[in-house]
Amino acid sequence: MSASVPTTQIFKDNIFAGKVLLCSGGGSGICRGMTEAVLRHGAKAVIISRSLDKLEKAAKEMRESTGGEVIAIAADVRKPEQLEEAVRKTVERFGHIDYLINGAAGNFLAPFENLSYNAFRTVIEIDLLGTFNLTKAALKHIKASKGAIINVSATLYYTGTPFQQHAGSAKAAIDALTKHWAVELGPHGVRVNGIAPGPIESTVGMEKLGPQFDATAVPLQRMGSVEDIAQSTVFLFSDAANWISGVTLVVDGGHWLNATYPGYPDFILTPLQGKL
């Protein structure tokens, strides 16, 4: 299911004119919405993922919906040589890279007893190593443009979420990278931040992880939208945030603070009935 961003715009249309975004996972879900929002404000974009057919379809749809220029490049974030080639093609096409979104991720519900060695390693490789690999490949260009990086995170490890130790561990390490990179790259004029989305409606992730999610668990009493994350992306890349670095912005309506469930919530237990 695609989750495109409505045309509501808080910032001026052209604030990213002349800028180039490179986004992993930008062909679907939250990261597609983030990419689309940056396109709507004047940037050009490159989206990367493993499936070129799906990427090209998403790029075509985004070109039609935004009028912006976006291209698709197939690459596996677990393979540095493919990312280096994707970066080379991006710079060859657009001349530079200003913004980077590390959004490629894998996740599923799994109790510890049923979580295989391979499954745990795969999530770490896609989420954590993928974030490192793409940033490493694009680093000299981000430094040259004094650009900005957003790492897509999650609140899973803030309180310890059942059946999510693989993804939570990866996101905890990604948040650590955000802080280390902010300190090390700051003197080069590069800002590094994260976004930790809460439960976002109409996304594949919520269909897999929380099909019966009860929005009353959110203090603001609603699920989030892709647009909520997209607008936060525009803010963090914009000059309005030009003295913000090393921060992971939680965009979840206060959800993670509400750790008052009696035992495991039904929205987690229901998909696992008969599997524990």
Continuous segment of H or E residues that includes residue 140:
helix 130-145
Tell me if 193 sits within 8 A of 238, measured CB to CB.
no
Tell me if 169 sits within 8 A of 213, measured CB to CB.
no
Q: Which residues contact 140 (CB under 8 A, 6 or more apart)?
A: none
Does 208 participate in catalysis according to the annotation? Answer: no
- What is d(CA 69, CA 64) in angstroms, rounded to the nearest whole number? 9
As a three-state string, the secondary structure of 20-49 is EEEEECCCCHHHHHHHHHHHHCCCEEEEEE
Does 28 participate in catalysis according to the annotation? Answer: no
- Looking at 24, 28, 49, 153, which residue is catalytic? 153
- Looking at 171, 225, 232, 245, which residue is catalytic? 171
What is the full DSSP assignment across 234-273? Answer: HHHHSGGGTT--S-EEEESTTGGG----SSS-HHHHGGGT
Among the listed residues 42, 165, 156, the one whose alpha carbon sits nearest the alpha carbon of residue 113 = 165
Phi-psi region of 233 (alpha: psi -120 to 50; beta: other; left: phi over 0): alpha
- What is d(CA 106, CA 120) in angstroms, rounded to the nearest whole number? 10
**Which residues are the active-site residues?**
153, 171
